[in-house]
Amino acid sequence: MVEISKDFIKKFQAEKNKKDFEIIFNFYAPKIKSLLIRNGAEFTLAEDIMHDTMINIWDKIHMYNPQKGSFSSWIYTIARNNRIDLLRKKSSQPYTDISEIDIPSDNENSQEIVERKSLTEQVQNAINLLPDKQKKVIELSFKNDMTQDEIATELNVPIGTVKSRMRLAYQKMKDNLKDITS
Amino acid sequence: MKNCPDLATIISYSSGALSKSFALLVSSHIEKCDHCRRNIDRCCEMGGSFLDAEENTALENNSYALFLDKLEESKNTERQLSVKDTFDKSSEVPVSLQRHIGRDLSSLKWSFLAPGIKKCSVKIDEKENKHLTFLKIKSKKKIPEHSHLGSELTLVLKGSFDDENGRYMAGDIADHDHTSRHEPVVTSDEDCVCVIATDGPLIFNSLIANIFQSIARI
Q: What is the CATH number of the domain that holds A156?
A: 1.10.10.10
CA dist., res. A157 & res. A3, Å (int): 42
Percent of chain B with pLDDT over 70: 83
**By CA distance, what is B66's nearest residue in A?**
A51
Are the beta carbons of B95 and A101 separated by less than 8 Å? yes
Same domain, A65 and A137: no
Same domain, A78 and A146: no
On the 0-12 / 13-18 / 19+ scale of CB atoms within 10 A, A14 is exposed
Short-list B49, B24, B37, B17, CA closest to A99: B37
Q: Quickly count: other Cβ atoms within 10 Å of residue A112's Cβ.
A: 11
Q: Which residues of chain A from 79 to 138 reach within 8 Å of chain B, CB to CB?
A: 79-81, 83-84, 89-98, 100-103, 105-106, 119-120, 123-124, 127, 138
Interface A:B, Cβ pairs < 8 A: 208
Q: Which residue from B7, B49, B71 is facing A170, i.e. has the nearest CB?
A: B7
In this prediction, residue B86 carries a pLDDT of 65
Mutation site, A1, A88, A98, A164, interface B, largest B CB count within 10 A: A98
In this prediction, residue A107 carries a pLDDT of 42
In this prediction, residue B43 carries a pLDDT of 93
* Residue A62: inside a domain: yes
- Measured between CB atoms, does A74 come within 8 Å of chain B? yes
Same domain, A38 and A100: yes
Same domain, A66 and A138: no
Q: Which amino acid is at B20?
A: K
CA dist., res. B161 & res. B172, Å (int): 10
Mutation site, B24, B27, B44, B73, interface A, largest A CB count within 10 A: B44
Mean pLDDT by 10-residue block, N- to C-terminus, for chain A (182 residues)? 77 93 96 91 92 94 89 92 71 52 41 53 89 96 92 95 96 78 52
Short-list B185, B213, B184, B209, CA closest to B201: B213
Same domain, A79 and A121: no
Same domain, A72 and A146: no
Q: Which residue from A52, A59, A142 is facing B47, i.e. has the nearest CB?
A: A142
On the 0-12 / 13-18 / 19+ scale of CB atoms within 10 A, B203 is middle
**By CA distance, what is A171's nearest residue in B?**
B7
Domain boundary at A106, A127, A157, which?
A106
Domain boundary at A66, A82, A106, which?
A106
Q: What is the tally of structural domains in chain B?
A: 1
Are the beta carbons of B89 and A103 separated by less than 8 Å? yes
CA dist., res. A125 & res. B153, Å (int): 33
Same domain, A71 and A30: yes
**By CA distance, what is B37's nearest residue in A?**
A105
Short-list A103, A100, A66, A102, CA closest to A81: A100
For B94-125, write each residue's pLDDT tens digit: 999 998 898 888 889 999 888 888 889 898 87
* Residue A11: inside a domain: yes
- Structural domain that includes position A126: 114-176
Same domain, A38 and A90: yes
The residues, any chain, with a CB within 8 Å of residue A17's CB and separated by 6 or more, are none
In this prediction, residue B195 carries a pLDDT of 94
Are the beta carbons of B179 and A160 separated by less than 8 Å? yes
Q: Which amino acid is at B174?
A: A
Same domain, A21 and A78: yes
Higher-confidence residue: B126 or A23? A23
Same domain, A95 and A22: yes
Is residue A13 within 8 A of residue A64, CB to CB? The reply is: yes
Q: Is the dihedral of CA A144, A150, A152, A153 positive or negative?
A: negative
In this prediction, residue A106 carries a pLDDT of 42
Q: From the CA of B84, how many Å to the nearest CA of chain A?
A: 5
Query: Helices then strands (H, E): number in chain A?
Result: 9, 0
Higher-confidence residue: B54 or A84? B54
Same domain, A91 and A122: no
Beta-bridged to residue B134, according to DSSP, are: B120, B195
* Residue A1: inside a domain: no
DSSP character for B142? B
Q: What is the tally of structural domains in chain A?
A: 2
The sheet with strand B185-186 has its strands ordered as B166-168, B161-163, B185-186
* Residue A182: inside a domain: no
Report ipTM (2 d.p.).
Answer: 0.83
Is residue B126 within 8 A of residue B147, CB to CB? The reply is: no
C-alpha to C-alpha distances, A110 to A65, A161, B43, nearest whole angstrom:
13, 39, 21
Backbone angles phi, psi at B39, to 5 degrees: -60, -40
Q: What is the CATH number of the domain that holds B166?
A: 2.60.120.10
Are the beta carbons of B42 and A100 separated by less than 8 Å? no
On the 0-12 / 13-18 / 19+ scale of CB atoms within 10 A, B97 is buried
Same domain, A71 and A21: yes
C-alpha to C-alpha distances, B206 to B116, B119, B145, B211, B213, nearest whole angstrom:
19, 20, 8, 9, 10
Q: What is the CATH number of the domain that holds A46?
A: 1.10.1740.10
For B56-82, write each residue's pLDDT tens digit: 999 999 999 999 999 998 887 755 545
Domain boundary at A106, A125, A146, which?
A106
- Measured between CB atoms, does A6 come within 8 Å of chain B? no
- Structural domain that includes position B127: 1-218
Residue B55, pLDDT above cutoff 60:
yes
